[in-house]
Chain A
Amino acid sequence: MSTAILIGREARRLARHPVLWLVPVVAAVTAAADSASDGRNADYWYGTIFIAVAFFGPIIVLFAANLVASGARRSRAEEMLSVTPISDTRRTWAMSLGIALPLAGIGAVAAAAMAAIGSLNDIPAKDLMNAGELAQLPLVIAGAGLLGVLAARWLPFAGGVLITFVVATLGGLVAFRRFDGGAWWMWWTTGMTFEGWVPGPGRPWLHVAYLTGLCACAAIAAVYRSHGRRLVLVGGPVLAATLVLGGLQLP
């Protein structure tokens, strides 16, 4: 019961964090700056929501979630909070869920809005995302939040989240160069394409499963940071399954 209340508290802390509120600000500023040559039509709003949730959103969420998750350490409240009956493991579960669930909710609302705009308006079929692709949005943004929690747990010092961001970006670029990837790819967006390779039916859902695996890996690694045995026992199979799901998407 107290874990459920804690999840709510952590969600509230994230919602109130000023860094998170940069997402709508950045989205509004970039939307205002966009010349929108065809006018602010349905296609324009469809793209704007996608960019806010799948591009700006995860980067900002990574930093906001990290600041929330590292709040006790940064404010030197850790010792006082650690002698309560709720264990560190339960507190981190609550933190992870309190951050991931509302973010996934925001992603789901955005995906629903895009689906509604797509169904009600005349948007070219090539610009429309299918259900599997839309289902990736909540996982991308929740995953960025979980990565922020993970960085707070494993790199508990100032700059840890920045290192995470740089390593993830550079690592992603280096890894995906090997696979003759498409024109553009970044770890914080929904997926990638390969030149001359058309994803078959069901592939977007495979990517949904892969992103779910990544989210689970991040949460498990954060929660069992100080329980090496449990980390291996629980995290090992999940990581293996995630790697298999990732490998299946390669051409």
Chain B
Amino acid sequence: MTVRVQSATRSFGRTTALDSVDLDAGEGVTGLLGPNGAGKTTLLRIIATVLAPDRGTVTLLGRDPSRPGDRTWIRERLGYLPQEAGFHRGFTVFEFIDYVAILKQMTDRRARHDEVRRVIELTGLASVSAKRIRALSGGMSRRVGLAQALLGEPDLLLLDEPTVGLDPEQRLRFREMISHAGEGRTVVMSSHQTEDIAALCTRIAVFHQGRVRFTGTPNELTAQAAGRVWADTRRSPAALAAWRTGDGTFRNVGDPPAGAELIAPSLEDAYLLLMGEPDLEVTHS
């Protein structure tokens, strides 16, 4: 396993952001799903070596990030896009990514510039590489964040809410890039967008109030909702959640009444059920 987190707990003052969390992530894209404040970002920051857990152990790429030497070794193989990725706004796109490349100890000028051009090309930023970052749209800035994370083809790529604030076309493009990045390496991404998780992740962990409520594949989570989603002409009082769909019928999620017209559940339905049932905790191997 590239990432192994065992019983990690982290508090900020009186708030317990993570409560005895376990997580394993190997090759492919692992998604952290959960509402705001569920602990996803705290866990990603721990895996990114920004924070240390108060209790518990973390092993990344087989090394212990609490040891300074190991931490540097891990950081040489790590790409990280934080939730709030800011940039030196006076830099051009090329200059900023080149600056991060220097911090990643790419000392050979020609090789470094080739690598910067590669990630700029990969993230579709070639046409704006000479533009100042302050002149870019939110979506373009997010791509700059992804480009710097992809520098040096890291073994471990951590993306915190990579698609937040993007329009549908940009989100699809991002999915394509992340999917490509997940081939042959470990990607851990957080999101509260179930569509992104369903589209990209081979494995997911659902967080709620600092605890992991589910680990397994997206299909396994979706299967949790089998027989608990039904269509009706009205909003059912028995439903945990219900909404009118495009065809005018109501999609109800919860415990169906007898004779209900059951329909195939989605990952979103299963997620809603999991969040609506606080005692349920499911872990798949």
Q: Which residues of B contact A78 (CB under 8 A)?
A: 86
Are the CB atoms of B102 and A2 closer together than 8 Å? yes
CB 8 Å contact bits of A141-169 with B (1 = contact, 0 = none): 00000000000000000000000000000
**Alpha-carbon separation in the docked complex, A185 to B265 (Å):** 78
A2 to B105, Cβ gap below 8 A?
yes
Decide yes or no: A77 and B90 within 8 Å by CB, A83-B48, A83-B78, A85-B75 being known contacts. Answer: no
Interface of B is mostly: loop
Residue B145 interfacial (CB < 8 Å) = yes
The listed residue (B48, B72, B87) touching A85 by CB distance below 8 A is B72
Pick the residue among B72, B102, B148 that contacts A9 (CB under 8 A).
B102
For B86, give its contact among A9, A76, A83 (CB under 8 Å): A76
Size class of the contact patch on chain A: 20 to 34
Q: Is B104 an interface residue when CB atoms closer than 8 A count as contact? A: yes
B interface footprint on A77-94 (CB within 8 Å = 1, 0 otherwise):
111111111110001000
* CB closest chain-B residue, reference A1: B107
Verify if B94 is at the interface (C-beta below 8 Å from A). no
Number of A-B residue pairs, CB cutoff 8 Å, is 68
Assuming the contacts A75-B88, A77-B85, asked whether A83 and B72 have C-beta atoms less than 8 A apart, the reply is no
Query: Are the CB atoms of B104 and A85 closer together than 8 Å?
Result: yes
Say yes or no: B88 contacts A84, CB within 8 Å: no
Contact B80 A86 (CB under 8 A): no
Question: Are B75 and A16 interface neighbours, CB within 8 A?
Answer: no
A157 to chain B, nearest CB (A): 16
Q: A75-B89, A85-B72, A87-B72 are in contact. Are A80 and B105 (CB under 8 A)?
A: no
Contact A83 B75 (CB under 8 A): yes
Asked if A71 is at the interface (CB within 8 A of a chain B CB), the reply is yes
CA distance A71 to B91 in the complex (A): 11
Query: Which residues of chain B are near A6, meaning CB under 8 Å?
Result: 102-103
Nearest residue, chain A, Cβ from B103: A84
| A72 adjacent to chain B (CB < 8 Å) | yes
Shortest beta-carbon distance from B111 to chain A in Å: 13
Chain A CB within 10 Å, residue with most, of B49, B81, B88: B88
Tell yes or no: A170 within 8 A of B by CB: no
Q: How far is the CB of A94 from chain B (nearest CB, A)?
A: 9
Q: B124 at interface (Cβ–Cβ under 8 A)?
A: no
Specify which chain A residues have a CB less than 8 angstroms from the CB of B243 in the assembled complex: none
A240 at the interface (CB under 8 A from B): no
| A80 to B160 CA separation, bound complex (whole angstroms) | 11
Convert B100-123 into 0s and 1s, putting 1 for each residue whose CB lies closer than 8 angstroms to a CB of A: 101111110000000000000000
Q: Is A5 an interface residue (CB 8 A)?
A: yes
A70 to chain B, nearest CB (A): 11
**Are B80 and A83 in contact, CB atoms less than 8 angstroms apart?**
yes
Most buried by B among A6, A75, A81: A75
B50 close to A (CB within 8 Å): yes
Q: How far is the CA of A82 from the CA of B88 in the complex (A)?
A: 14
| B81 to chain A: closest residue by CB | A80
A5-B107, A75-B89, A76-B86 known; A83 and B49 CB under 8 Å?
yes
Separation of A5 and B104 alpha carbons in the complex (Å) = 12
Partner of B105, one of A16, A76, A77, A86: A86
CB pair B107 A80 closer than 8 Å: no
Separation of A13 and B82 alpha carbons in the complex (Å): 24
Closest Cβ neighbor of A90 among chain B residues:
B103
Q: Answer yes or no: B99 CB below 8 A from chain A CBs.
A: yes
**Inter-chain contact A80/B102, CB cutoff 8 Å:** no
Q: State how many angstroms separate the Cβ of B97 from the closest Cβ of chain A.
A: 11
Known: A9-B99, A79-B82, A79-B84. A84 touches B89 (CB 8 A): no
B27 within 8 A of A: no
Determine the chain B residues whose CB is within 8 A of the CB of A86 once the complex forms.
103-105
Chain A CB count within 10 A is highest, among B86, B103, B105, B145, for B103
Residues of A within 8 A of B107 (CB): 1-2, 5
User: Is the beta-carbon distance between B145 and A80 smaller than 8 angstroms?
Assistant: yes
Determine the distance from Cα of A209 to Cα of B50 in the docked complex, in whole angstroms: 40
Taking a contact as CB atoms closer than 8 A, the residue among B45, B72, B87 that contacts A77 in the complex is B87
CA distance A87 to B88 in the complex (A): 19
Nearest-neighbour CB distance to chain B for A80, whole angstroms, equals: 6
How far is B148's CA from A191's CA once the two chains are assembled, in angstroms?
Answer: 47
| Beta-carbon nearest neighbor of A71 in chain B | B88
The reply to whether B50 and A84 form a contact with Cβ atoms under 8 Å apart is no
Contact of A91 among B48, B80, B103 (CB under 8 A): B103
6 contacts between A and B (CB under 8 A): A9-B99, A77-B88, A81-B103, A83-B48, A86-B103, A87-B72
Q: Given A81-B100, A83-B49, 15 other A-B contacts at CB below 8 A?
A: A2-B105, A6-B102, A6-B103, A9-B102, A13-B88, A16-B90, A75-B86, A76-B84, A80-B80, A83-B80, A85-B72, A85-B75, A85-B103, A85-B104, A91-B103
Those 5 A-B pairs whose CB atoms lie nearest each other, nearest first: A76-B86, A84-B103, A75-B86, A77-B86, A1-B107
